[in-house]
Amino acid sequence: MAAKNTMRLDKLLTMLGEGTRAQAKDYVRAGRVTVNGVPARDSGMQVDAENARVCLNGRALEYKAVRHVMMNKPQGTLTTARDKRQKTVMDLLPPLYAAMDCMPAGRLDKDTEGLLIITSDGQLAHRIISPKKDVTKVYFARVDGVLDESDIAAFAAGLHIKDSDGEFDARPAGLEIVSTDGQTSEVRVRVSEGKYHQVKRMLASRGAPVVYLKRLQIGALKLDPALEPGQWREMTDEEAELLEQEANDA
């Protein structure tokens, strides 16, 4: 009986980000690929992707059926898979992730930093951003203005937003004032929906336009504080479980 994740060797090499299918064939012809310690002679040979030990130039290649990435998205990058003119978050990752059809789960504005999930599990990504899931997001913001208890109460009651981007009723949200110097304030905002520019519009409606915004948390998943803007890492098994739990909760 064939293994569940059996596939052609050249396809596996491509999925692992090791070049195009044609390049993979060249690697095999040149004797640069081994499977379970034996030089591969046929790029079309069937390989058990999960269990076979595949090496390129003596370097072991790690196969994962699904990959989840945590990124601290930097300012100035688009949250999209590709763009002909501007740099995207996928440009910050090795080719392996594009080869596995990884995609951002949700969006952050171009000028917003912080936690971004990139995953090869498209269904999981859609469940995470589904309005039906009410997944909570936590943001840190620096604003031009002074906020007080009346603003906290207004957020808790739910805001009616009407501006140049349109009109909507924001659900009750959390607002925590971290600090203020009499001219600017630093706050944390907790929301359970994702309207267009929502956090910026909510704060602007209280006379406090955002000058800096960073997402800190999605559900129970927190941004690794060791990640500088533009840095990323694959999620741990525990973090992946948190992600699955958030996606599956009603």
CATH number assigned to the domain comprising residue 198: 3.30.70.1560
Asked if residue 101 and residue 35 are part of one domain, the reply reads no
Q: Is residue 101 part of a domain?
A: yes
Global pTM reads: 0.84
Clarify whether 109 is annotated catalytic. Answer: yes
Of the CA atoms within 13 Å of residue 148, those in its CB half-sphere come to 4
* Cα distance between residue 220 and residue 245, in whole Å: 9
Domain match, 205 and 144 both: yes
Q: pLDDT 10s digit of each residue in the chain, 250 long?
A: 345 678 999 999 988 888 889 999 999 999 999 999 999 999 999 999 889 999 999 999 988 888 999 999 999 999 998 888 999 999 999 888 888 889 999 889 999 999 999 999 988 888 888 777 778 999 999 999 999 999 999 999 999 999 999 999 999 999 999 999 999 999 999 999 888 999 999 999 999 999 999 999 998 999 999 999 999 999 999 998 888 887 776 4
Asked whether residue 22 falls in the same domain as residue 84, the answer is no
Identify whether residues 121 and 73 lie together within a single domain: yes
Q: Mapping DSSP to helix (H, G, I), strand (E, B) and coil, where does residue 98 land?
A: helix
Could you say which DSSP state residue 59 is in?
E
CATH code of residue 32: 3.10.290.10
One-letter amino acid of 82: R
Same domain, 125 and 141: no
In a domain, 123, yes or no: yes
State residue 199's pLDDT score: 97
48 and 100 fall within a common domain: no
Question: What pLDDT, on the 0 to 100 scale, is given for residue 2?
Answer: 45
In a domain, 203, yes or no: yes
Please state the separation of Cα 163 from the chain's center in Å: 29
Residues spanned by the domain of 206: 136-218
From the candidates 109, 111, 151, 249, which is the catalytic residue?
A: 109
125 with 170, same domain: the answer is no
**Residue 215 CB neighbours (<10 A):** 21
Residues 228 and 122 in one domain: yes
Find out whether 114 and 108 touch, Cβ atoms under 8 Å: yes
Query: Is 88 contained in some domain?
Result: yes
118 and 187 together in one domain:
no
Does a structural domain hold residue 32?
Answer: yes
Is residue 1 one of the residues assigned to a domain?
no
Only one residue has tokens 């992730």, namely 97
Instruction: Please state the domain count of the chain.
Output: 3
Long-range Cβ contact pairs of 94-98 (< 8 A, separation 24 or more): 94/17, 95/17, 96/15, 96/16, 96/17, 96/67, 97/17, 97/67, 97/69, 98/17
